[in-house]
Chain A
Amino acid sequence: MEASNRADEFVPAGMASLGIEADEIEAAVMSAAHQMFWPGIRELISTDLSDVAPERNPDLSKPPES
């Protein structure tokens, strides 16, 4: 099935499922945010990182432990 990027489906459904209300302007902002964010989110989720070992409690002030 082809993935959907349609804000007019995703955003209202998501808001309704969480019980979050939005006026017309807020809905337009959310739609614009979705158009902006979702392609990048899709790209990230679709990147195969299965061979990348996660860092356990990384200390971000230092290089990763090898």
Chain B
Amino acid sequence: MTELDLSLRGQAAAIAAGEIDPAALLDAALARIEERNPTINAVVETFPDRSREMLAAAPEGPLRGVPVVIKDEWPLPWRAQRFGAAEMFAHTEPAESGPYRALRDAGAVIVGVGNMHELGASSTGNTSVYGAARNPWDTERCPGGSSSGPAAAVAARLVAGAVGADGLGSIRFPAAYCGLTGLKPTFGRSALDGHHAAAVTETIVSGPLCADAADCRLFGSALFGESLEGGDASGLRIGVVRDTVSEDVAPEVGDACEAAIEALRAETGGEVKEVELADLAPATMSGVLIINAEMLNGITPAQLNDVDPELSPVNRGFVKYRMLLPVAAVAQAKRMRALMRRRLAALFEQVDVLAWPTVPAVAPPLEAPLVELPSGTLTADQANVRGGALANLTGIPGISTPVGFSSDGLPIGLQLQAEWGRDELLLDAAEALERANGRRWVELLSPLAAEGEPTEA
């Protein structure tokens, strides 16, 4: 246990109190990345001189001197993003992105760039131009995607906080797979500038991945540019939807989430209500269609015929298939979005949060990311998107919080979603759930973080 193993808020407080030398903390983070990262490939680049320059210039902000990781989805002033890919079909160059500015202005020190699934195109994290990131709980398992590196970096305690991006669940999925808390903010509340799709996206947001809700609150405040004040989740009205998102899940996941929902109800003195939310399947497809249309980003057939051969075969084929998505379906998707937004607005008059498993099964093997569900065998992407897409389609916030472990020692996550702008309530609810569980799920360390030694790959 070192100062680097303190929580994000613990590191920030200790630095502010003069109990930790932030230069020593930065050196410790760089040393730990060198030591542990080869096992998990979470961090794809460090830049010690740039990090030391950030520290030297760090203002007296809430994260002053705290080392953090940022996903390979935004440029830095000294590095263009690669989007985890040999070719990302967009112009990129080094720049001050919104998340970079937010972190810099909060006093944080960017110590490295986090790996990600190639082109952000999967919930698994098993494909990247840098090689796959690995899950610190089991290095043969997927860390989740697309924010694979940020999640793995925090779960291995290389850093205490990392910036991810979420367009269909890409913060919440790796949070669930890696036993972390991950917040997908309300659309537009967190810094996004500098993202190559910032001008067109109606789905993608930046957000924090941390060990627990209090750290997400502090990190999220930096990304939001406003303090996410703690509140009171007393009397929480928890909505449960009896649909594939809660029913077609692995039994261990379903049981852990049911128990967590009941624990949250008891802790808050609230109530659980079964609610109707029809058309989740076409709503999911709507989210998929809208983000894939956004990602077309002006690509021409000529560009596709000259695609970089280093791009994975799956994505070479998939970016070409995107060109065939019918505009009639995209138009219908936007009408479906209007319908779901109205239904959710009505629903959030009855309940404060919706709760269902973040992902229906624990992290699958990297080599074969398939999951066994009551309905049969599905690819992890097919299964995961069903629970993730609604928040991105409609703009509402969502959070994944750890609620247990499978019999083979892999984390299970519960997702809570709330009305637009009620990100703070999600953090309050996640903190209540942590209290209800005696914080045991958020304080457990992955084998890599606990032993400080590489696990066998």
Residue of A nearest to B335 (CB): A49
Number of interface residues of A (CB under 8 A): 38
In angstroms, Cα B344 to Cα A55, docked, is: 14
Contact with B along A18-41 (1 / 0, CB 8 A): 111110011111100110110011
Q: Is the CB of B320 within 8 A of A61?
A: no
Tell me the chain B residues, 277-306 only, with Cβ under 8 Å from chain A.
279, 281-282, 284-286, 288-289, 301, 304-305
B326 at the interface (CB under 8 A from A): yes
Tell whether, in the assembled complex, residue B285 and residue A44 are in contact, meaning their CB atoms are under 8 Å apart: yes
Residues of A within 8 A of B342 (CB): 64
**Residues of chain A lying within 8 A (CB to CB) of residue B320:** 15, 20, 22, 26, 30
The contact string, 1 if C-beta is below 8 Å from chain A, for chain B 338-366, is: 11011011001000000000000000000
Closest to A51 in B: B339
**A14:B339 contact, CB within 8 angstroms:** no
Interface of B is mostly: helix
Contact A49 B336 (CB under 8 A): yes
| Contacting residues, chain A, for B285 (C-beta < 8 A) | 37, 40-41, 43-44
Q: What is the total of A-B residue contacts with beta carbons within 8 Å? A: 127
Question: Looking at A29, A52, A60, A64, which has the most chain B CB atoms within 10 Å of its CB?
Answer: A60
A47 near B338 with CB under 8 A, answer no
B78 in contact (CB, < 8 A): no
Pair B317/A28 contact, Cβ less than 8 Å = yes
The verdict on B316 contacting chain A, using a C-beta distance below 8 Å, is yes
Which B residues from 397 to 430 make CB contacts under 8 A with A? 419-421
In the assembled complex, which residues on chain B have CB atoms less than 8 Å from the CB atom of A27?
317
Contact between chains at B289 and A41 (CB < 8 Å): yes
Q: Annotate B370-394 by CB proximity to A: 1 below 8 A, 0 otherwise.
A: 0000000001001000000000001
- State in angstroms the CA–CA spacing of A23 and B345 once bound together: 47
Q: Which residues of the other chain, B, contact A37 by a CB distance below 8 angstroms?
A: 285, 288, 321, 325
